[in-house]
Amino acid sequence: MYLKRSVDRTAGMTEGSIHCRKLSSRAGLSGMCLCVSSSVVLLRLIATLFTLATFAISASAQTRPSIVHDKSGIHIVAGSLKRDITLANGMLSTKTLSVEGEQVLATDSPEFSFTLYAASPDRKPRGLAPGEGGAIDATPVSGKTDTLTVQGQTSGPVDSTQWVDASVIDGKQWGDLFPHKAISITHKNAAEALTITGIGNALKVSICYETYDGFPVIRKWMKITNTGSHWMKVDNLQIENWTFGVPFSSPTPLTPSERGAVSSLVAMGHQDASRGVILGSEIPSALRNIDNSGAMGYANPYFEWILGPGESFESEPVFEYAYDGQTIKTISGVSTALDRTVEGPFQSFLRKRIGLLADAANLPAPSYNTWSNFGPKVNSAEVEEMAPLAAKAGFKILTLDEGWQRNRFDTEPDPDKFPDLQAAANAVHAAGLRFGLWVSTFRSANSKDLRILPDAASRPGLRRDGGGLGMSFSGPWRQYYVNDLVSMARQYGITYFKQDLSSIRFGDFAEGHESRSLKESLLRGLRGMLQAQDLIRQSVPGVTLEITHEIYWGTPGVPCDLAALKHANLYHIPPNDYSGDGNNKLRYRDQKTAYTVEAHQSDLIAGTLHARQRLYAHRGLPLDALEYYGATTMSFNGSLTPAIQDRQIASWLMGAPMVFAGDLASLTEETLTHYRTRFDLLKRLQQNYGIYDYFEFSGVPSAPTDEGWQ
């Protein structure tokens, strides 16, 4: 939430100011600051609110979606968004995609495209046997955040299968390739669905579209079926072949594109900012591609899928969501149609129709995590020391991060540091806190996992820090992992799992696992990990599941996306931020000379700015689902002042619950009490006004700064 008053004048977070913003939000309004300091400002505020209300209502007005098939083609209308699909001249293509009647495409777009190959010899490819495929060793770089040194080499599959006779299959050849066709339109559950099916020689392609009452959106996915008796491979799959034309050709990412993955949400807007289309992809992690022309599909360097006789591949969906409205100057910035849409009806669409799990009201917040400044050396005595301090400060959950496990990677307690994990759990619960636990996707060679499932590790072999073996989510270990976490949740009263460390991006082509090639295993691994989240939640409905940027691809990992939040409650966004921790593996008493008061305060303030910047960069997603380190609960000679504490807390008012990390033993009684006072205020504001549902970035400065964003 944007607070105009400076944090150094802490009284700015009042219930009255929040209530004013709440009323404007309920009216569908955007772009106003919270602080009302005079009757003149109040009158200006009211006038602008009514202006914004008019535009918000007109822009969001919707009619019931419709799908019509007539002689001229297929016409899909969803509010201000219209799509005309033509089947003329043997082609299947989108002729028009328009917003408020204006075409946004530069040219007709074939409805899909992919490349198809035949197997030679014609058989299922053989996976890697034990000892085949080489090995990889991944070791964190000392003193550097989120950096791995990766050594070793994979020898590739021993299998001799070659993929030959490549042919491009796309909408341009629809009539020639698919002599048998069917079009069906169905209506159910406030949605209309269209399926276009083509059946050819040994190949069946179905293209599915959905529209939803109340939302100007068209969602689309594909199903490719091998109906013949031969093995084949698919790659270079494009679900939408858009080329957006001027003046709609300038992309605006609504989540970051970085660290090997492109944004899952990109707006293609008119140059005058009056209207446009939000492109969304539900393809996970680095497997996704949305290019600058607007085309959406799979990233070819990482994607392929092998189909045996009778097998199918069903893609993840993509969608187009229209927005329109005027650009309005407010007293603090500029309110755009895109921002008003993203912060309002679009968030409702993501929750109701895409199925994002974000729910600030039911997430444990604020939370305290042991990683900084305990690291993997954390022990039971330190957890029992931190628990009452965390409770006194007003935290709701204590998450025990890496270090509690035997051999660092397993899910059995370390016998020296945690001789009785139940006692540590009991201490946390006795303090009135929930208990969270860190788990990884690596296991030691003598773990119970590998004793029960000797072939559960991925192949080529992956070793972390010289000890842990990378496990495979595309094999039988996936269900073992689910059962293991469910068992721990029930045994220790765990209501939160933080799942971490990179293994999926290195691939798994082990014989007996699900993947038929190393490249195919990337999507299978991501899908398997996300499916595991669903299975855990089904068995323990009250558990909160977090996945990190590392488990989702690499170290450093990728930003959050739509696919992750369909399956996990929370996502830890990159990078890990140790601002104000000093040496993030040492407790404060072991580094008392690491800081001057002024230097530590500067680092603490920098962490709060980083948090606002990273959360804002993900503004297309529900921000309450994002976790970011950036608030350090550590003080050197009184460096953590009430004003800096307030700055930390205000940085998390962007719709997001809060995570704090640091050494609570460094804090005074006054510092602990001030945290509790502010956390209690936030709890009351959330209960009374639902403040996490009303973060607004339309009409405020265009990006977070350290001047006016606290």
pLDDT at position 198? 97
pLDDT at position 582? 85
Running DSSP on this structure, what letter comes out for residue 550? Answer: T
Which tokens in the block code for residue 190?
Answer: 């406030």
Confidence at 592, pLDDT banded by 50, 70, 90: confident
pLDDT at position 467? 84
142 exposed, middle or buried (CB, 10 Å; 0-12, 13-18, 19+)?
Answer: exposed
Q: Letter for the amino acid at 105?
A: L
Tens digits of residue pLDDT in 191-240: 899 999 999 999 999 999 999 999 999 999 999 999 999 999 999 999 99
Q: Could you please report the per-residue DSSP string of 464-521? A: ETTTEEEB-TTSTHHHHHHHHHHHHHHHHTEEEEEEE---GGG---BTTSS-SSTTHH
Distance set, CA 390 to CA 318, 430, 670 (Å): 43, 12, 14
376 exposed, middle or buried (CB, 10 Å; 0-12, 13-18, 19+)?
Answer: middle
Confidence at 62, pLDDT banded by 50, 70, 90: low
pLDDT at 188 over 90: no
pLDDT at 350 over 90: yes
pLDDT at position 19? 33
Mean pLDDT, residues 532-554 taken together: 96
pLDDT at 594 over 80: no
Cβ distance 117 to 165 under 8 Å? yes
Mean pLDDT, residues 572-585 taken together: 89
CA 271 to chain centre: 28
Q: Could you please report the per-residue DSSP string of 317-385? A: PEEEEEEE---EE-SSSEE-HHHHHHHTHHHHHIIIII-----GGGS--SEEESHHHHGGG--HHHHHH
Q: Could you please report the per-residue DSSP string of 47-101? A: HHHHHHHHHHHHHH-----EEEEETTEEEEEETTEEEEEE-GGG--EEEEEEETT
Q: Is 220 helix (H, G, I), strand (E, B) or coil?
A: strand
Which tokens in the block code for residue 192?
Answer: 């209309």
Positive/negative CA dihedral, 42, 44, 47, 48 = negative
Tens digits of residue pLDDT in 621-666: 999 899 998 889 999 999 999 999 999 998 887 777 789 999 999 9
Positive/negative CA dihedral, 272, 562, 300, 552 = positive
Q: Could you please report the per-residue DSSP string of 637-666? A: TT-S-HHHHHHHHHHTTTT---EEES-GGG
